[in-house]
Structure 1
Amino acid sequence: MNKQHGSHEDKAERYELKQTLSTLQLWGIAVGLVISGEYFGWSYGWAAAGTLGFVITSLFVAAMYTTFIFSFTELTTSIPHAGGPFAYARRAFGPTGGYIAGAATLVEFVFAPPAIALAIGAYLNVQFPSLDPKHAALGAYLLFMGLNIIGVAIAATFELVVTVIAIFELMVFMGVVAPGFSIANFTKGGWSGQDVFSLGAIPGIFAAIPFAIWFFLAIEGVAMAAEEAKDPKRSIPIAYVTGILTLLVLAIGVMVFAGGSGDWTTLANINDPLPKAMKFIVGDNSGWLHMLVWLGLFGLIASFHGIILGYSRQIFALARSGYLPHYFAKVHPRFKTPHRAILAGGVIGIAAIFSDEMIKIGGQTLTANIVTMAVFGAILMYIVSMLALFKLRRAEPGMERSFQAPFYPYFPAFALFGALVCMGTMIYFNPLIAAIFAGVLMLGYVYFRLTRSQRETPPQNEVFEPSEELA
């Protein structure tokens, strides 16, 4: 009897994560996951909409994210599970709903890191012109996958430190370019060469949506650290609310100061807009510029490192519930981290980095296409999550909700509306990437249907009721 009990404990330990994360560390993860979006990616929106058009896009997306996070926090605290959106959708809609949310989240978190890794390479290339950005990106993957494997407490502490440094650097950037700021620079050609009163700027405003989302993409990844939080019902709401407010201030400040520093059109299609913006003010050889490049890497590293944590927990949770091969559900016997899941996501990301000759879609850069693919996954997940919130409010009114979405049902309804608008416009402006995204989901669904037996005997399925029907 004792031997059998021991074997159950041993088995559980192989599939469980350690609860070690504090509120401050969760805030560091929330901001760190996203903060690279302040350093690059968003400026592609200027190419589509102009500076003024992109302001409108960004304000709409910021409102969507704010209402989404306040609503999403209710789900995260009610169901603190490493699968995050996968767990909420499965609880609300059953296994198929779980698959849709899990697959969408996986696309978001697996495709975002290679875009960030390429930006890390671009920043290093500024300092070392002979260094191939792709080789630098590969080195970043190897280094930070290793750090994530060593342990979540170490990884989260590192995340907090680099996030604080990244915030400091963004403030330094704004302070250095402020003396040369000109509102005339920011507004010149601000409607992407169109007259806003002729409605010619409106298509660009919608086309820029993916790049406004990049300002905030992946903040929801804190949900995937919920099982590792010491007190998730208290710490996660604090981390989410303070995190989204921090990011709102930084996003507005960086966009406005960069656009007003000089000719913004030269910043619209590059991976390192902040160093280039600072050159307008301090010149090519200023010590400020070199400091920005070096410290700016911390922002990229914070998001890159944090999203590795996020995608690994999503792969781990899906495998633990039988949606992916059980092989990826094992945790390291010493470090108690999902090492196999960390490596699996890294393999996909590295392949994406070196596939630029195959991924030339719609005349956009590789980075822009990867960003768009990640955003498709995020938006689908937001839609399913808000639908899950409404469903669970009706189906399980007695569920413990230590945090409730304020202004219900208006906040989640606006978040859902915003996500639907974003999805519709993204499909319209990116039909080929949308088709690829749909194809990935369909292939995954075929696997899902063929592996029912895998979900009937998952290694661990502790979150859901034993009576739940497994498709």
Structure 2
Amino acid sequence: MSKPSQQVSRDLKPVLGAFSLWGIAVGLVISGEYFGWSYGWASAGTLGFLVATTFVAVMYTSFIFSFTELSTSIPHAGGPFAYARRAFGPTGGFIAGYATLVEFVFAPPAISLAIGAYLNVQYPALDPKVAALGAYVIFITLNALGVGIAAMFELIVTLLAVGELLVFAGVVAPGWSMANFVANGWAGESTFTMATWAGIFASIPFAIWFFLAIEGAAMAAEEAKDPKRTIPIAYITGILTLVALAFLVMIMAGGVGDWRQLSNINDPLPQAMKVVVGENSGWLHMLVWIGLFGLVASFHGIILGYSRQMYALARAGYLPAYFAAVHPRFKTPVRALVGGGVVGVLAVFSDQFITIGGQPLTANIVTMAVLGALVMYIVSMASLFKLRAAEPGLQRPYKAPFYPVLPAIALVFGLVCLGALVYFNPIITGLFLGLMAVAWVYFALTSGQRDAAPADEMLGTAK
């Protein structure tokens, strides 16, 4: 089949440097240090969750050092979709694109609810869902005004959020004790038993939440200046920053009192600080207000990520061309921004009609986003191996160190995490597969749409 005569138009503006990309990479994730992860304590305990987090940190570090090879070799707004499409053709592109969309569209609702929970500490009469809706309106608008403005805002709030986590650790340190941290630390028991393993594996999705979405910086590749140099700097410094912060926050929060009181809530850090300084302390109010910057950084950054993924999929014919439109003045994919926001808002309000497994809505949304992420990680590492074999001449400005060991660790650990998540979350897995089946029907019926899409040399020749 002949390729379309027109070439893909790269309408996004390349304005981002290494520091801005670091801000996006860390900002995408940093809300994971503020909430979400503490649900892992409910099943694994502090010590069991420490084991799970160590396992996941090794996986993510190996993954990022390997994923950077793909993002610099194929600097495309589609990120994982582009790598899988080039490696495995249209079906590979579909699987990676679907999984990435699930991750990036379902993560913001969870974060927006946490924003509502943090605001509710200050304003008890404020409905967290109304606050979540307001967050969507504000930050979709900010993203629409241009990537330069969005990236500068992201960098500022990320720096504030990192600083606030360091302040949190310092303020609670006087009330911290090892005895509190280890009490009932093995899945609610004082000693490790074989049953503890089940709790550790069940907590893996919440350990992943510490690092989820760092790969989204790759979707800003077409907006990066000199991506072959700036992306490796941003990714490697970003993952090291996040690993250090994850262990710092988890350990300090777990040792200030009864950690079980923090294991099923959306605002564990303010509640942990309250134990040490009291609920009327200025430190607590500072944490609530400045802590919002961590949530806002991730919320804002992931909105940028999902919009670029939708834009790239639409540009390639995997989604309706409607979502590939770029604003003529601001050069941002406004329709993709709004489209993903509509899905997110529906998810925020869905618990009025749908209950899954008796778990809090946030826990279910986190699990759904993590499931999409794991599928995408596995496909990305498989793409790395396939492209190394099939395209040895592909320009690789950055090569994964210790190849093939690091990508193999990321791939195997990813499979273990996926197996654990599927085993402990059959209903969410069924929902993920059901949505995937619906998406596959659309994919199968729209081959003509992909044939008509502009040729894109970064994606290979198969449509």
Shorter-chain TM-score: which interval?
A: over 0.9
Amino acid at match of 1:119: A
Relative to 1, partners in 2 of residues 1:62 and 1:129: Cα closer, same or farther, differing over 3 Å?
Answer: same
Q: Is the 8 A contact 1:134 1:353 kept in 2?
A: yes
Name the structure 2 match of 1:311. 306
**SS at 2:36 equivalent:** coil
Shift of 1:395: 0.3
Shift of 1:197: 4.0
Name the structure 1 match of 2:462. 469
Query: Residue deviations 1:274-332, cap 9 Å, x none?
Result: 00000110001000000000000000000000000000000000000000000100100
Query: Residue deviations 1:356-388, cap 9 Å, x none?
Result: 123321111000000000000000000000000
Name the structure 1 match of 2:51. 56
Shift of 1:469: 2.9
Task: Tell me whether 1:367 sits opposite 2:367 in the alignment.
Answer: no
Q: Is the 8 A contact 2:45 2:187 kept in 1?
A: yes
Matches of 1:134 and 1:108 in 2, distance apart? 20
Matches for 1:183-222 after TM superposition, within 5 Å: 183-194=178-189, 196-222=191-217
Matches of 1:287 and 1:414 in 2, distance apart? 45
Name the structure 1 match of 2:269. 274
Amino acid at match of 1:261: V
Shift of 1:461: 3.0
Query: Residue deviations 1:158-178, cap 9 Å, x none?
Result: 000000000010011000000
Shift of 1:195: 5.5
Shift of 1:200: 1.7
Name the structure 1 match of 2:285. 290
Name the structure 2 match of 1:5. none
% identical equivalent positions: 69
Amino acid at match of 1:429: F
Name the structure 2 match of 1:225. 220
Shift of 1:460: 5.7
Q: Is the 8 A contact 2:17 2:230 kept in 1?
A: yes
Q: Is the 8 A contact 1:170 1:254 kept in 2?
A: yes
Matches of 1:197 and 1:304 in 2, distance apart? 37
**SS at 1:463 equivalent:** helix
Matches for 1:331-370 after TM superposition, within 5 Å: 331-370=326-365
Amino acid at match of 2:443: F
Task: Tell me whether 1:67 sits opposite 2:85 in the alignment.
Answer: no
Query: Residue deviations 1:22-65, cap 9 Å, x none?
Result: 11000000000000000000000000100000000000000000
Q: Is the 8 A contact 2:184 2:190 kept in 1?
A: no
Matches for 1:251-270 after TM superposition, within 5 Å: 251-270=246-265
Relative to 1, partners in 2 of residues 1:461 and 1:398: Cα closer, same or farther, differing over 3 Å?
Answer: closer
Name the structure 2 match of 1:3. none
Contiguous gaps of at least 5 residues in structure 1: 1-7
Amino acid at match of 2:245: L
Q: Which runs of 4+ in 1 moved over 6 A?
A: none
Query: Residue deviations 1:172-205, cap 9 Å, x none?
Result: 1000000111000000010122364431211000
Q: Is the 8 A contact 2:44 2:187 kept in 1?
A: yes
Q: Is the 8 A contact 1:80 1:226 kept in 2?
A: yes
Name the structure 2 match of 1:89. 84
Matches of 2:357 and 2:315 in 1, distance apart? 38
Amino acid at match of 1:215: F
What TM-score do you get using the length of structure 2 for normalisation? 0.98
Query: Residue deviations 1:203-230, cap 9 Å, x none?
Result: 0000000000000000000110001000
Matches of 2:8 and 2:371 in 1, distance apart? 35
Name the structure 2 match of 1:144. 139
**SS at 1:42 equivalent:** coil
**SS at 1:356 equivalent:** helix
Q: How many matched pairs?
A: 459
Task: Tell me whether 1:330 sits opposite 2:325 in the alignment.
Answer: yes
Name the structure 1 match of 2:428. 433
**SS at 1:200 equivalent:** helix
**SS at 1:170 equivalent:** helix
Query: Residue deviations 1:337-370, cap 9 Å, x none?
Result: 0000000000000010011123321111000000
2:71 to 63, 71, 76: 76
Q: Is the 8 A contact 1:196 1:202 kept in 2?
A: no
Name the structure 2 match of 1:422. 417
Q: Is the 8 A contact 2:48 2:196 kept in 1?
A: yes
2:123 to 102, 119, 128: 128
**SS at 1:363 equivalent:** coil
1:400 to 383, 395, 398: 395
Q: Is the 8 A contact 1:123 1:272 kept in 2?
A: yes
Shift of 1:235: 0.3
Relative to 1, partners in 2 of residues 1:137 and 1:460: Cα closer, same or farther, differing over 3 Å?
Answer: farther
Relative to 1, partners in 2 of residues 1:432 and 1:408: Cα closer, same or farther, differing over 3 Å?
Answer: same
Name the structure 1 match of 2:31. 36
Amino acid at match of 1:217: L
What TM-score do you get using the length of structure 1 for normalisation? 0.96
**SS at 1:45 equivalent:** helix
Amino acid at match of 1:363: G
2:236 to 212, 235, 241: 241
Matches of 1:101 and 1:110 in 2, distance apart? 14
Shift of 1:16: 1.6
Shift of 1:464: 3.3
Matches of 1:464 and 1:51 in 2, distance apart? 44
Amino acid at match of 1:269: N
Shift of 1:105: 0.2
Query: Residue deviations 1:138-162, cap 9 Å, x none?
Result: 0000000000000000000000000
**SS at 1:334 equivalent:** coil
Matches of 1:103 and 1:446 in 2, distance apart? 12
Task: Tell me whether 1:180 sits opposite 2:175 in the alignment.
Answer: yes
Amino acid at match of 2:60: Y
Matches of 1:290 and 1:123 in 2, distance apart? 10
Q: Is the 8 A contact 2:102 2:369 kept in 1?
A: yes
Relative to 1, partners in 2 of residues 1:12 and 1:68: Cα closer, same or farther, differing over 3 Å?
Answer: closer
Task: Tell me whether 1:46 sits opposite 2:41 in the alignment.
Answer: yes
